[in-house]
Structure 1
Amino acid sequence: MSRDRFTLVGRETNCHIYEGDGTRPIREEDVRVLYRRQRVEFPEEIGGWRHSIEEEELRNEALGLPHRWNNERFAVERITVSRNHLAEDPVVTLTLQDADYYDFLTTSLNLERKQKNGLTLREQYLEGEDPALAPAWMNCSFGINVALETGKDGRMLFSRRSAQVAGPNSSRWNSSANEGMARQHDLPGDGSPISLHAVARRALFEELAVHATDELDLELLGFGLDLNNHQWAAFFRAVLPELDEDTLRLRWTRGVTDKWEHDRFEFVPADPESVLGFIADEPPERWTPCAPALFYLALVRGAVRRAGDDPAARFAVETAEQRVIEARGL
């Protein structure tokens, strides 16, 4: 089963919006994260691929060569979406298992590698079947993506991932902040449930120096699936009412926990025409697959809120998109 691909400013992306249209948020209390302490299990052949990756990384580490550090992550067993019986608001259940970074590399680096049966992983699990229902060992990545607006000067922040970041999305424009979920950081020690909103706050702190004392308006807008790299994502909109571009840039000069993850930032006026114009003016190959979808949802949510929560305000974004397309002959 194929999944439809999000299209913006005349460009089809490799992102599928699994849930959400930007008109309403998914409330924090309506997101249930179930964690099963069970490690993903690879088929025997794929397990051999993983063993080879681990041996190579450990060998490089012993020789003092560049290597990838293995950290504990989560694998997505399933995502289910239902509606509550009152206002039919979305209720999302995310079920996770144990995985690590080498597990992720095993599949993400080998999607085009042929198995003994003659099929690649992509052919067998992502094209021959519904990619949203792929087995857990194919889903060893779940990312939190945040579109950040500065409320004081009305700017939207675009971040370009550094060339130092491993993976296919290095040196590409991405969300304002992006964080992969990790057991070390995101699994509460007191046994309480995992919070996606807490991971989003961690992403803002570690990558953009947004502190817990900063006033923050944070909403979960939906979930997406990167169909090219097969990575799940949660989409958040964040507004900092009391901060502006100058304040954030000054903070960054004084140190950021994960400063190395980005090598360029652009603050763009947060109105739909300016944001969509920035997206259209950068070649499509310079974008991560799901970043345009994230910023579109954030624009829709902003328009709806300004209109007193009228969902029809989303068409203001559609109108702005048409102006951008016509102005650029797209």
Structure 2
Amino acid sequence: MTLKGALTWISTGGGGLLIGAVLGLLMTVGFEDPLKKRLQRIRRRSRRLRPRRRTPNVAEFEFGGVTSPCMIVAGDGTEAIREELVHLVVSDEPLELPAELAAWRSEIATEEQAKRAAGAPHHWNGDCFAVEELVEERTDRDEEVEIFLQLRRTDYYSFLASQHLDRRFRDGTTPRSRWIDPVGHRRAPAFMSLSIGTSVLVITTDHRVLICQRGPNVGSRPLHWGVSADEGLSAKLDSPSGLPPRLHATARRGLCEELSLEDHEYRLALLGFTIDTERHQWDSVFVAYAHDLSSEQLDRRLQRSAKDRALEIESWEFIPFDVRSVLRRLTGGLPARAWTPVAPVALYLALVHEYGRWRVERLARSQSNRLRRSS
């Protein structure tokens, strides 16, 4: 084969796919396998050094008189978790649902396919990731937070089936009573942890935070008010070559698709990981500081729409980014708003990151006392 012919073959679909597959395999062996071995060493060491502590079955977050069915799993907002210290390791072992959940998944698949055939709004069954385990460590030199997330591949219909936590089986038990209550949310099995996403708060240059109302047709908590942008990890979009996804990249994708924000327009910081204890959904909380955009400029951009804005966002507003203003918005207003469980937690972590824990919690206690006196 001539040099010109070889270059032509490489540039064609077949040649490119073959080379891509080989490079993907080399990168997997070179990067993911050492991470898996390191995670196994950390897990063995942790079991020797620390006793297993049971996570409370019912966990509610409280902030300035606001309560939310959510728990913080890692991170406290004071310091950002550096991108290079977040490792996502994807297991090759397939995830299987118990027989009862598999039957519910089949029901959901039939219903969604019927909606699609009728031309009605429906959910498509994309590939996603389940959380098998989160391990939090400290780096040797600087003792920074380092996160290892062990993931398994799953699909969206399995996630929808796992959301019926209080639906009863024939024996009267529920998924919550069988698989979450005995061990707590932190140690629930992977087939119940079929969701891991990113929730991002955007802070503009005039020190206002964007909060958004979710669209009426989203799969989880439609029309609830929440963060600026949220995005679930997708195997197709975030791991197209088969390599493990990256949380920061998923958060950036969400900001681009929902708010039309480009990577160079903000500074992104990961503040923590949470679990929605009402529906057992894992999440990661980010804050994005705009470099040049004011709230007025971002509002005009949103009015011009974004790729997924019409699907994901029903309405939005900007509020001053300070403790009192945030708490007034969470607790006040008529009619009362329904908030996503992660929204108060994300706002708390972002405020702590900006002002420090002591000041935020002092003002929050003052707000709680005022609410108690007025009730």
TM-score (norm 1): 0.90
Confirm or deny that 1:58 pairs with 2:113.
Answer: yes
Q: Which residue matches 2:315? A: 264
Partner in structure 2 of residue 14 of structure 1: 69
Matches within 5 A, 1:104-253: 104-108=159-163, 110-151=164-205, 153-167=206-220, 169-189=221-241, 192-214=243-265, 216-253=266-303
Letter in 1 for 2:186: A
Query: Quick one: distance in 1 between partners of 2:308 and 2:204?
Result: 20
Rg larger in structure = 2
Q: What percent identity do the matched residue pairs reach? A: 36
The residue number in structure 2 matching 1:277 is: 328
Counterpart-to-counterpart distance in 1, 2:88 and 2:103: 31
In structure 1, stretches of 5+ residues that fail to align are 304-312
* 1:5–1:17 Cα contact (<8 Å) kept: no
**1:192 Cα shift?**
4.9
Query: What SS class does the counterpart of residue 263 from structure 2 fall into?
Result: coil
Structure 2 Cα separation of the partners of residues 326 and 99 of structure 1: 45
Aligned pairs for 1:72-83 (under 5 A) are 72-83=127-138
State the alpha-carbon separation in 1 of the partners of residues 145 and 162 from structure 2: 31
- When normalised by structure 2's length, the TM-score is 0.80
- Cα distance in 2 for residues equivalent to 1:228 and 1:97: 22
After alignment, is 270-279 or 99-108 more displaced? 270-279
RMSD of the TM alignment (CA)? 1.8
CA deviations over 1:245-275 (Å, ceiling 9, x no partner): 1111111222201112111211111122212
**Structure with higher helix content:** 2
Hey, what's the Cα distance between the residues in 1 that align with 2:255 and 2:121? Answer: 28
The amino acid across from 2:210 in the alignment is L
Deviation of the 1:326 alpha carbon: 4.5
Identify which range, 240-249 or 81-90, moves more after superposition.
Answer: 81-90
d(CA) in 1 for partners of 2:359 and 2:332?
20
Q: Would the aligned equivalents of 1:273 and 1:323 in 2 still touch at CA under 8 Å?
A: no
Matching of residue 319 in structure 1 with residue 319 in structure 2: no
Q: What SS does the aligned partner of 1:39 have?
A: coil
Secondary structure of 1:286's partner?
A: coil
Q: Residue 127 of structure 1 aligns to which amino acid in structure 2?
A: D
SS at match of 1:233: strand
Query: Partner of 2:26 in structure 1?
Result: none
Contact kept? 1:158, 1:173, Cα under 8 Å: yes
1:208-267, Cα deviation, whole Å (9 max, x unpaired):
1111342x1111111000000110000111100211111111112222011121112111
**Is the contact between residue 19 and residue 222 of structure 1 (CA under 8 Å) also seen in structure 2?**
yes
Partner of 2:39: none
User: Is this contact kept in 2: 1:5–1:13, CA < 8 A?
Assistant: yes
Q: Give the Cα–Cα distance (whole angstroms) in 1 for the partners of residues 208 and 254 of structure 2.
A: 19
CA distance in 2, matches of 1:180, 1:249: 24
* Gaps in structure 2 of 5+ consecutive residues: 1-54
Q: What secondary structure sits across from 2:362 in the alignment? A: helix
Residue type of the alignment partner of 1:9: G
> In structure 2, how many angstroms separate the alpha carbons of the residues matched to 1:187 and 1:284?
39
Letter in 1 for 2:199: N
Q: CA deviation at 1:297?
A: 0.3
Following TM superposition, by how much is the alpha carbon of 1:161 offset from its aligned partner in structure 2, in angstroms? 0.9
Report the Cα distance in structure 2 between the residues aligned to 1:50 and 1:67, rounded to whole angstroms.
15
Q: Which residue identity lines up with residue 344 of structure 2 in the other structure? A: P
Q: How many pairs were matched up?
A: 316
Counterpart code for 1:51? S
The match for 1:306 is: none
Report the CA distance between 1:53 and its aligned residue.
1.4
